[in-house]
Amino acid sequence: MRTTALAARRRSRMPRRLAALAWILAALCATLAPARAEPAATSSFAKALIERVHEIRLDNGLRIVVLPRTEVPVFSAVTMVNVGAVDEHVGITGVAHIFEHMAFKGSRTLGTRDFEAEQR
């Protein structure tokens, strides 16, 4: 009886071991597989969207990307700045972090619920 229970317990652990082995093999295959040399096929919808993108570069280097979408009367904007702690050097460390906090402080009319408290 004891050997039967032991055998049953071993059999119940086998699927877990096989699943773990399968995950390990899948991860190994994914890391060893060569990177694709060409991008994946783009859908016709994505191609049509890409064709509508306008890119403008100002004299000061500011890059503006515009995608007009006239389906609904909504404006949306995203601001991306290629700076941060990784770009700092000795003497200016911490500037990116303090700028991040200051950028979201707001003003008397925009971006904060209690401007006076934010000034303290």
Mean pLDDT by runs of 10 across the 120 residues of the chain is 59 66 72 61 81 90 87 83 77 80 68 68
C-alpha 26: how far from chain center: 24
The residue ranges of every structural domain in the chain are: 1-33, 44-119
Question: Rounded to an integer, what distance in angstroms lies between the CA atom of residue 55 and that of residue 66?
Answer: 6
Run of H or E including 54 = strand 54-57
Phi-psi region of 94 (alpha: psi -120 to 50; beta: other; left: phi over 0): left
Question: Rounded to an integer, what distance in angstroms lies between the CA atom of residue 107 and that of residue 98?
Answer: 17
pTM, two decimal places: 0.38
